């Protein structure tokens, strides 16, 4: 019995959704585990997807086909990061239950260009257009880690101490920025405001240039060390999805 076209399309969508920036090459077994599609059906669909350019195959590994990028090009050109932020931030807020934010570097500061607030009554206030220092906070650390030359510009000026946790030693700030670049994510507590914590990850465009930092923020009372560790993956995956929606790629 032949499958209904809609069911086939759902299975194809599930296969394509199995790929991400961090899992850009998968075996057939990987895809079956991610989708739950039976072996015979997966084998048939993978063969068809390769034949039609949706996927490329190199030995046992499958990856998104270059033809997909060609099709995506016209749509991506019409998209601006602002158009993509609202659904991305809302999804991240709903998954983590914390305020989701997006920051860009502007000169020697950072500015909030997207925010969806938590539904919790206890929150750390944030608003669109808010300008903040670049040497404090998880989003700032991401911007410093992936914007060439920006850290040197910031360190050309004295680092203002805002709390007891603010890093004001240039060498120490360089170290934590290097760690952020190596780990792909930043976690900070109490650097800008006492009792506030945050996680942020980078978002890139098609030229592997940093677009900004996507993250969450909230009171340390709720975002303690254990909870922060639990929320790293959701933040990183949300940033990866936003990068993908822009046809972007990591450096």
**pLDDT class for 75, splitting at 50, 70, 90?**
very low
Q: What is the pTM of this model?
A: 0.69
Taking CB atoms within 8 Å and a gap of at least 24, the contacts of 119-128 are 120/218, 120/222, 122/219, 122/221, 122/222, 123/99, 123/218, 123/219, 124/99, 124/193, 124/196, 124/217, 124/218, 124/219, 126/99, 126/101, 126/217
**pLDDT class for 70, splitting at 50, 70, 90?**
low
Rounded CA separation 79/103 (Å): 18
pLDDT single digits (tens) 192-235: 999 999 999 999 988 899 999 999 999 999 999 999 999 999 99
Q: How many C-beta atoms surround the C-beta of residue 135 within 10 A?
A: 27
Percent of the chain with pLDDT over 70: 91
Q: What is the pLDDT of residue 83?
A: 72
């Amino acid at each position: 019995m032949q499958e209904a076209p809609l069911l086939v399309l759902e299975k194809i969508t599930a296969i394509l959704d199995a790929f991400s920036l961090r899992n850009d090459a998968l075996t057939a077994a990987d895809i079956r585990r991610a989708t739950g599609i039976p072996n015979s059906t997966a084998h048939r669909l993978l063969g068809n997807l390769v034949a039609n350019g949706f996927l490329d195959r190199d030995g046992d590994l499958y990856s998104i086909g270059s033809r997909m990028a060609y099709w995506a090009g016209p749509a991506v050109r019409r998209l601006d990061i602002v158009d993509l932020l609202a659904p991305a931030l809302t999804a991240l807020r709903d998954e983590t239950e914390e305020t989701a934010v997006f920051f860009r570097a502007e000169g020697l500061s950072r500015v909030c260009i997207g925010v969806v607030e938590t539904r919790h009554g206890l929150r750390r206030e944030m608003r669109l257009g808010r300008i903040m220092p670049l040497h404090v906070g998880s989003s700032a650390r991401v911007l410093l880690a992936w914007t060439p030359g920006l850290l040197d510009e910031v360190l050309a000026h004295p680092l203002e101490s805002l709390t007891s946790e603010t890093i004001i030693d240039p060498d120490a700030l360089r170290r934590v920025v290097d760690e952020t670049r190596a780990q792909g994510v930043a976690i900070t507590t109490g650097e800008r405001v006492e009792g506030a914590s945050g996680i942020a990850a980078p978002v890139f465009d098609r030229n592997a240039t940093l677009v900004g930092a996507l993250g969450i923020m909230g009171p340390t009372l709720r975002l303690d060390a254990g909870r922060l560790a639990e929320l790293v993956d959701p933040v990183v995956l949300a940033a990866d999805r936003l990068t993908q929606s822009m046809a972007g790629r990591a450096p």
